Amino acid sequence: MRGSFASMTHNERIVILDFGSQYTQIIARKVREVGVYAEIHPYSISHEALSARAPKGIILSGGPSSVYADGAPIPSVDVFSFGVPVLGICYGLQLIAFQLGGSVDKAARREFGRAMLQIDDTSDLFAGLGAETQVWMSHGDHCTSIPDGFERIGHTENAEICAVRNTERRIWGVQFHPEVHHSTEGKTILKNFVVNICGCAATWNASSFIDNAVREIRERVGNGGVICALSGGVDSTVAAVLLHKAIGDQLHCIHIDSGLMRKGESANIIEMFKTHFSMSVDLVNGSEAFLTRLEGVSDPEKKRKIIGNTFIDLFDIEAKKFSDAKFLAQGTLYPDVIESVSIKGPSATIKTHHNVGGLPEKMNLQLIEPFRELFKDEVRRVGRELGIPEWFIERHPFPGPGLAIRIPGAITSGKLDILREADEIYLEEIRKAGLYNDIWQAFAVLLPVQTVGVMGDERTYEHVCGVRAVTSTDGMTADWYHMPYDVLARISNRIINEVRGINRVVYDISSKPPATIEWE
């Protein structure tokens, strides 16, 4: 049983119907930044399920399909007669035209990237904007005629019909993507829709989330005990502090040293919670169990599931110490869910996260996941509101499976020791250079490749270390960080000279997509 407090507690919400766009999650995050709660559901949601969500507005996402193609995604609900304002984005605009009597055809010139939107009307959706604004296009089809009752409110050089509306039916549509960063006034456009048109009060923020979550946690838990799976990362730490605020000593924090942690990580976690939060943490040494089960396993999905299962097995054993324990809390985030299981729409499964797809079907504890519908930046805002120190809030993400997914191939204790030393040097040099807070995530990877080197007068045959640093907002997309050459030189020099077992360092300059942030 999973618990998601964000979606259960807020009275005003925008529902986003997912038609498979790579940007769907960004729409939700941008609407939330305006101060309005938004959640994503599949385009095939039933009328009953949509009614139960009681949305104040509906946004139709973009998508890769052509509306006129066989098998194109069409909503199960007549969203245009649902009784709330509708905004169609890209595919959503084409769906409006196709279903309501307009026409959509393959464009003679496909349009991808920046374009200048010429605004024909600034009375509602484009209120506060000037005569033109930069937008981001990504489409191969275009709307060639609009349905009766609609009017054009924006166009570009390549798209005569780029924005439309029917004020009587409260339907708007845009061909561009207001949610992406390159649509410079996209956030204003989304705010105009959710606040001015839909009438939502912009009151969803970290403080209101905490109040609602604390109430829901108390109601659900009652007198029961909650075990918190404390990894020491930002997500599980903020979850632990939130739970402690809600239920106090009914919370039992357990940290399992999997043997897959960074250098000194487990000892630092115990000390930090004792010193900064006056919370006790049970430390379980599970290194032997994890390494034994992972021995000889190279497949990354098998690694993740073994790690997930081992965590749960050890938690089940530890839970017997607490007779009141009925719940297990985790810091699962929305991107974890979206990437792991396609529960919200036609998004592809990318990888299994250890705290989502790796869990056994049957558990002795019920799950509480208060951040299951939150993005990383939202969790950080919650952490700040709870008084967690800034130096900790700004820590880079660290994956639940730890260093196991930063050693492609089979795991050994020797490889882990080598990687721990290299990773510590890498992060130390980034901090020294004052770059740490400019980077979303930085880490070292020990590659399953050995290369020839020369140290002194001797030939070496040792491992390659990859170093990775990316910039991102929510982890859904990321670009490689343009590390200064002098910093890279120091990093490479120190790792090769100080870490026995590495004789070559390479820098990863892949973006996400097409790559993922982690290597496995």
The torsion angles phi and psi of 492, rounded to 5 degrees, stand at -60, -45
Contact in structure between 326 and 224 (CB atoms under 8 Å): yes
Report which of 101, 60, 64, 94 is spatially closest to residue 77, judged by C-alpha positions.
Answer: 60
Q: What is the 3-state secondary structure (H, E, C) of 269-311?
A: HHHHHHHHCCCCEEEEECHHHHHHHHCCCCCHHHHHHHHHHHH
Token pair for residue 20? 């498979």
Nearest Cα residue to 16 out of 190, 216, 192: 190
Alpha-carbon distances of 203 from 11, 195, 218, 336, rounded to whole Å: 10, 11, 22, 26
User: Which pTM value belongs to this model?
Assistant: 0.72
Contact (Cβ atoms closer than 8 angstroms) between residue 201 and residue 213: no
CA-nearest of 180, 196, 171, 172 to 30 is 180
Q: How many CB atoms lie within 10 A of CB 383?
A: 23
Tens digit of each residue's pLDDT (9 = 90 or more) over 401-441:
999 999 999 999 999 999 999 999 999 999 999 999 999 99
Tens-digit pLDDT profile for the chain (520 aa)? 344 444 444 568 999 999 988 888 889 989 999 999 998 989 999 999 999 999 999 999 998 888 888 888 999 899 999 999 999 999 999 999 989 999 887 765 555 678 899 999 999 999 999 999 999 887 567 788 999 999 999 998 878 899 999 999 999 999 999 998 889 999 999 999 999 999 999 998 999 899 999 999 999 999 999 988 888 788 888 999 999 999 998 999 988 999 999 998 888 888 888 887 788 888 999 999 999 999 999 999 999 999 989 988 887 788 788 888 888 888 888 777 655 534 344 443 334 444 434 444 445 678 899 998 888 889 999 999 998 888 888 888 888 899 999 999 999 999 999 999 999 999 999 999 999 999 999 999 999 998 888 766 666 778 999 999 999 977 778 999 999 999 999 999 999 999 999 999 999 999 998 999 999 8
Distance CA 393, CA 210 (A): 16
Q: Phi-psi bin for 129: left (phi > 0), alpha (psi -120 to 50), beta? A: beta
- List pLDDT tens digits, range 347-367: 433 344 444 344 444 456 788
- Taking each helix axis from N to C terminus, what angle separates 24-34 and 376-385, rounded to the nearest 10 degrees? 30
Strands 103-119 and 132-145: antiparallel
Find out whether 379 and 13 touch, Cβ atoms under 8 Å: no
Q: What is the DSSP letter of 43?
A: T
State how far the Cα of 278 lies from the Cα of 255, in Å rounded to an integer: 15
Which residues, listed in sequence order, are joined to residue 134 by a DSSP beta bridge?
Answer: 116
Nearest to 397 by CA among 262, 506, 281, 492: 262
The residues carrying an active-site annotation are 90, 177, 179
Task: Report the alpha-carbon distance of residue 399 to residue 335 in Å, rounded.
Answer: 13
Burial of 229 (0-12, 13-18, 19+ CB in 10 A): buried
